[in-house]
Structure 1
Amino acid sequence: MQSVSIQNADMAWHIAATIQFPPNFDEAKTWPTIVSVHPFGSCKEQTAGNVYGKALAEQGFVVIAYDASFQGASGGAPRWIEDPTQRVEDVSRVIDYAVTLPYVDADRIGVIGVCGGGGYAINATLTEKRIKAAVSITGVNIGRLFREGFSEYNPLGALEAMAAQRTAEARGGELQVNELLPASPDAAAAAGLTERDVSEATDYYKTPRGQSEGGATRMLFSHAQKTLAWDAFAFAETLLTQPVMVVVGQKVGAFGAYRDGMEIYGRATASVDRQLVSLQDWSHYDLYDKPEPVALALEKLVPFFKTHLLDTAAA
């Protein structure tokens, strides 16, 4: 694994990334390359990098996992901004960097994303035609989630509150940084937060199971306005032409990954190869790192990427 700092000519800050290489890596050859996009509130060291990135590298791909702008070890201020447009632009900027590497085959680039990263991966694929295949792992349309549960089904009220807070901050007031999860599973239980996705997210992000310094699970409230007017799947029927695989767990939670996965699979009618992997006995956060559901997902997505990205000359 190699740690890199990506600083393209049009960027005012750097993007922190890690590059994972296949076991038989030869820098003199060109390799199929996959960009791995982390979940909302996460970082490259968590599921996008240390689970799916690691597994794909072992299967013959160069994998670039990175921290979103304003998050993790990447630059950008103020911190903890979740801006879907920027998140999607990050994918293109990582690809801009990748195509300058002599061992990356610019014609064989894929993208994989987990949770919110799955929605961003799909959205990037709509317009970024350097992406030749896309996989969404329990992907969530963050715009839909913000308009619904995250705004308590009051998106206009949320926008008014964000506007007021942004004005206060512009006048020198303290930043409002929202913590997205309880501090621990015990704190979640004490607060009566037993809904599947909330409790399982807390178990992943707030325990040694998945906890990482870069995965702050925080959001700058005042800069989230544009999220409520964003749709990961807009124009999918027309623009999503590349091969796409959607992986979902059938144990449904409040964040809506199953619903969003079924929606984008149904709408991806222009894709040359759309595939749905629906896992009956598993939930959203099971697919982050639990060995059995991850293995089931990899059993499908590795051949999918090999079909669309890998050829015998590269291995």
Structure 2
Amino acid sequence: MKSVQIQNSDMPWSIAANILFPPGFDESRTYPTIVSVHPFGSCKEQTSGNVYGNALAKEGFVVITYDASYQGESGGAPRWIESPSQRVEDISHVIDYAVTLSYVDADRIGVIGVCAGGGYVINAALTEKRIKAVAAITPINLGRLFREGFSEFNPLGTLEAMSTQRTKEARGEELQVNELLPQNIETARTNGLTDRDVLEATDYYKTPRGQKPGGWTRMLFSHAQKILSWDAFAFAETLLTQPVMVVVGEKIGAFGAYRDGIEVYSRATTSKDRQIVSLENSSHYDLYDKPEAVELALNKIFPFFKMHLGKNASIQNESDYTNIK
């Protein structure tokens, strides 16, 4: 693994990233490369990197996993902004960096994203045609979630509250940083929270199971207005032309990934190869790191990426793709 800081002329801060290399990596060769995008409130050391990133690197891909702008070890202020437009732009910035690396095959770049990251990679692929294949793991359309459950089905009231808070902060008052999850499962249950996704998210992010220093599960409330008008899947029927695989779990929770995954699959009618993987005994957070669910997902993801980024694509020197069979 190599840690890097990605600087782009479009923004005054850098993106912190880890580059994961396949076994027997040889810098003189070129490799298919996958950009891995983390969930809302997460970081590169969690599921996008230490689960899916590591697994794909072991299968022969170069993988770049990174922290979103304003989050983790990446730059940007104020901290903990979740901006869908910036999150999607970050993907292009990472690809800009990737294509400058001598060992990255610029014609063989894929993306994978988990949770909100799954929505972001789909949205990025609508216009970023350097992306040749897309895998969305339990994808969430964050705009839909904010308009519904995260705003308690009161998006207009939430927008008014955000506007009021932003005015206060502009006048020098303290920033309102919202903690996205209960402190622990016991607190969640004490407060009457029983939903599968809330409890399982708390178990992942608030215990040694998934807890990492950069995975703050925080959001700056006053700067989240634009999320409520955003749609990860807008124009998918027309613009999502790349091969796309959507992986969902059938154990449904309030965050709505099963619903969102089925929706984008059904709308991706112009995709060159659209596939849906529906796992009967898996939940949203099982697909973050639970071995059985992850293995089932990877058993589909590996051949999908190998088909579209490997030897069945037009490669200049097939011997350079020893691990991509």
Q: Secondary structure at the match of 2:29?
A: coil
Q: Secondary structure at the match of 1:164?
A: helix
Q: Give the partner amino acid of 1:253.
A: G
| 2:41 is aligned with 1:26 | no
Partner residue of 1:210? 210
Q: Secondary structure at the match of 1:288?
A: helix
TM-score by length of 1: 0.99
Displacement of 1:193 after TM fit?
1.1
Displacement of 1:10 after TM fit?
2.1
What CA distance in whole angstroms lies between the structure 1 residues aligned with 2:221 and 2:266?
A: 32
CA RMSD, 1 decimal: 0.6
Displacement of 1:50 after TM fit?
0.1
Partner residue of 1:92? 92
Q: Secondary structure at the match of 1:50?
A: helix
Q: Give the partner amino acid of 2:176.
A: Q
Partner residue of 2:301? 301
Runs of 4+ in 1 over 4 A off after TM superposition: none
What CA distance in whole angstroms lies between the structure 2 residues aligned with 1:95 and 1:123?
A: 15
Displacement of 1:182 after TM fit?
0.3
Q: Give the partner amino acid of 1:191.
A: N
Partner residue of 2:315? none
Q: Give the partner amino acid of 2:56.
A: L
Q: Secondary structure at the match of 2:53?
A: helix
Q: Give the partner amino acid of 1:47.
A: T
What CA distance in whole angstroms lies between the structure 2 residues aligned with 1:192 and 1:291?
A: 30
How many residue pairs get aligned? The number is 315
Q: What CA deviation, in whole Å up to 9, does each residue of 1:239-268 have, x standing for no partner?
A: 000000000000000000000000000000
Partner residue of 2:154? 154
Partner residue of 2:117? 117
Q: Secondary structure at the match of 1:122?
A: helix
Q: Secondary structure at the match of 1:261?
A: helix
What CA distance in whole angstroms lies between the structure 1 residues aligned with 2:10 and 2:204?
A: 36
Q: Secondary structure at the match of 1:45?
A: coil
Give the share of equivalent positions with the same residue, in percent. 76
TM-score by length of 2: 0.96
What CA distance in whole angstroms lies between the structure 2 residues aligned with 1:117 and 1:253?
A: 18
Displacement of 1:68 after TM fit?
0.1
Partner residue of 1:227? 227
| 2:48 is aligned with 1:48 | yes
Structure 2 spans left out of the alignment, 5+ residues: 312-317
Displacement of 1:185 after TM fit?
1.4
Counting only pairs closer than 5 Å after superposition, residues 45-194 of structure 1 correspond to structure 2 as 45-194=45-194
Displacement of 1:114 after TM fit?
0.1
Partner residue of 2:272? 272
Q: What CA deviation, in whole Å up to 9, does each residue of 1:158-200 have, x standing for no partner?
A: 0000000000000001000000000111211221211100000
Q: Give the partner amino acid of 1:265.
A: Y
Displacement of 1:9 after TM fit?
2.0
Partner residue of 1:249? 249
What CA distance in whole angstroms lies between the structure 1 residues aligned with 2:13 and 2:186?
A: 38
Q: Give the partner amino acid of 1:139.
A: P
Q: What CA deviation, in whole Å up to 9, does each residue of 1:206-246 have, x standing for no partner?
A: 00000011000000000000000000000000000000000
